[in-house]
Amino acid sequence: MNEQRVTDALANERTFLAYVRTALAFIAFGFVIARFSLFLREFGLVTHAPQGPSVSSTLFGMATALAGIATGAFGAYRYVVSAKAIRAGSSSALPERAAIVSAIVTGAIGLIVTWTLFVSRAW
Protein backbone atom coordinates (compact mmCIF):
# COMPACT_ATOMS: atom_id res chain seq x y z
CA MET A 1 0.00 0.00 0.00
CA ASN A 2 1.57 3.29 -1.05
CA GLU A 3 1.49 6.51 0.98
CA GLN A 4 -1.43 7.98 -0.97
CA ARG A 5 -3.61 4.95 -0.33
CA VAL A 6 -2.89 5.07 3.41
CA THR A 7 -4.03 8.68 3.64
CA ASP A 8 -7.08 7.85 1.52
CA ALA A 9 -7.98 4.95 3.81
CA LEU A 10 -7.60 7.12 6.89
CA ALA A 11 -9.69 9.88 5.32
CA ASN A 12 -12.35 7.29 4.55
CA GLU A 13 -12.38 6.25 8.21
CA ARG A 14 -12.70 9.87 9.35
CA THR A 15 -15.62 10.34 6.97
CA PHE A 16 -17.28 7.21 8.34
CA LEU A 17 -16.89 8.54 11.88
CA ALA A 18 -18.51 11.80 10.75
CA TYR A 19 -21.48 9.78 9.48
CA VAL A 20 -21.67 8.03 12.86
CA ARG A 21 -21.58 11.34 14.75
CA THR A 22 -24.28 12.76 12.50
CA ALA A 23 -26.43 9.65 12.94
CA LEU A 24 -26.11 9.89 16.72
CA ALA A 25 -27.01 13.59 16.58
CA PHE A 26 -30.15 12.81 14.56
CA ILE A 27 -31.15 10.11 17.03
CA ALA A 28 -30.57 12.39 20.03
CA PHE A 29 -32.41 15.23 18.30
CA GLY A 30 -35.31 12.86 17.61
CA PHE A 31 -35.47 11.99 21.29
CA VAL A 32 -35.54 15.67 22.23
CA ILE A 33 -38.30 16.38 19.71
CA ALA A 34 -40.34 13.43 20.94
CA ARG A 35 -40.08 14.74 24.50
CA PHE A 36 -40.97 18.28 23.42
CA SER A 37 -44.66 17.46 23.78
CA LEU A 38 -44.04 16.50 27.41
CA PHE A 39 -42.37 19.89 27.96
CA LEU A 40 -45.33 21.69 26.36
CA ARG A 41 -47.77 19.75 28.53
CA GLU A 42 -45.85 20.65 31.70
CA PHE A 43 -45.54 24.25 30.54
CA GLY A 44 -49.30 24.36 29.99
CA LEU A 45 -49.93 23.11 33.51
CA VAL A 46 -47.69 25.79 35.01
CA THR A 47 -49.15 28.62 32.93
CA HIS A 48 -52.71 27.23 33.08
CA ALA A 49 -52.83 27.35 29.28
CA PRO A 50 -54.91 24.68 27.58
CA GLN A 51 -52.79 22.16 25.72
CA GLY A 52 -54.24 19.67 23.29
CA PRO A 53 -52.79 16.25 22.70
CA SER A 54 -49.52 16.49 20.81
CA VAL A 55 -48.88 13.36 18.84
CA SER A 56 -47.08 15.25 16.08
CA SER A 57 -43.89 15.88 18.05
CA THR A 58 -43.69 12.22 19.06
CA LEU A 59 -44.15 11.07 15.47
CA PHE A 60 -41.68 13.65 14.17
CA GLY A 61 -39.17 12.67 16.85
CA MET A 62 -39.48 9.04 15.84
CA ALA A 63 -39.03 9.99 12.17
CA THR A 64 -35.91 11.99 13.03
CA ALA A 65 -34.49 9.07 14.99
CA LEU A 66 -35.20 6.81 12.01
CA ALA A 67 -33.39 9.33 9.79
CA GLY A 68 -30.43 8.91 12.15
CA ILE A 69 -30.52 5.16 11.72
CA ALA A 70 -30.68 5.59 7.94
CA THR A 71 -27.75 8.03 8.07
CA GLY A 72 -25.66 5.51 9.99
CA ALA A 73 -26.54 2.73 7.55
CA PHE A 74 -25.76 4.95 4.55
CA GLY A 75 -22.44 5.93 6.15
CA ALA A 76 -21.51 2.27 6.57
CA TYR A 77 -22.47 1.60 2.94
CA ARG A 78 -20.39 4.57 1.73
CA TYR A 79 -17.44 3.42 3.85
CA VAL A 80 -17.48 -0.05 2.28
CA VAL A 81 -17.87 1.29 -1.28
CA SER A 82 -15.07 3.82 -0.79
CA ALA A 83 -12.77 1.26 0.85
CA LYS A 84 -13.22 -1.11 -2.10
CA ALA A 85 -12.53 1.75 -4.54
CA ILE A 86 -9.38 2.75 -2.63
CA ARG A 87 -8.10 -0.83 -2.70
CA ALA A 88 -8.81 -0.96 -6.44
CA GLY A 89 -6.96 2.31 -7.00
CA SER A 90 -10.00 4.23 -8.19
CA SER A 91 -12.37 6.74 -6.63
CA SER A 92 -15.99 6.60 -5.57
CA ALA A 93 -17.79 9.94 -5.51
CA LEU A 94 -20.98 10.49 -3.52
CA PRO A 95 -23.95 10.02 -5.83
CA GLU A 96 -25.63 13.32 -6.64
CA ARG A 97 -29.02 11.88 -5.72
CA ALA A 98 -27.78 11.14 -2.18
CA ALA A 99 -26.59 14.71 -1.75
CA ILE A 100 -29.92 16.11 -2.97
CA VAL A 101 -31.97 13.78 -0.74
CA SER A 102 -29.80 14.70 2.26
CA ALA A 103 -30.31 18.41 1.63
CA ILE A 104 -34.07 17.98 1.25
CA VAL A 105 -34.40 15.89 4.43
CA THR A 106 -32.28 18.34 6.43
CA GLY A 107 -34.27 21.30 5.12
CA ALA A 108 -37.57 19.56 5.86
CA ILE A 109 -36.50 18.84 9.43
CA GLY A 110 -35.52 22.49 9.88
CA LEU A 111 -38.83 23.71 8.49
CA ILE A 112 -40.89 21.35 10.63
CA VAL A 113 -39.01 22.31 13.79
CA THR A 114 -39.36 26.00 12.97
CA TRP A 115 -43.07 25.64 12.26
CA THR A 116 -43.65 23.65 15.45
CA LEU A 117 -41.86 26.25 17.54
CA PHE A 118 -43.80 29.05 15.84
CA VAL A 119 -47.17 27.38 16.37
CA SER A 120 -46.47 26.50 20.01
CA ARG A 121 -45.06 29.89 20.99
CA ALA A 122 -46.34 31.23 24.30
CA TRP A 123 -46.95 34.93 23.49
pLDDT in tens, 53-101: 566 778 888 888 999 999 999 999 999 999 999 988 888 888 899 899 9
Q: Provide the pLDDT confidence category of residue 115 given band limits of 50, 70 and 90.
A: confident
* Pick from 17, 30, 13: nearest CA to 109: 30
- State the chain's mean pLDDT as an integer: 84
Indicate whether 51 pLDDT > 80.
Answer: no
In the chain, where the domains are located: 3-119
Distance between CA atoms of 51 and 41, rounded to whole angstroms?
6
Separation between Cα atoms, residue 19 and residue 73, nearest integer Å: 9
From residue 64, give the alpha-carbon distance in Å to each of 24, 30, 44, 80, 114: 11, 5, 25, 24, 14
Residue 64, Cβ neighbours under 10 Å: how many?
Answer: 23
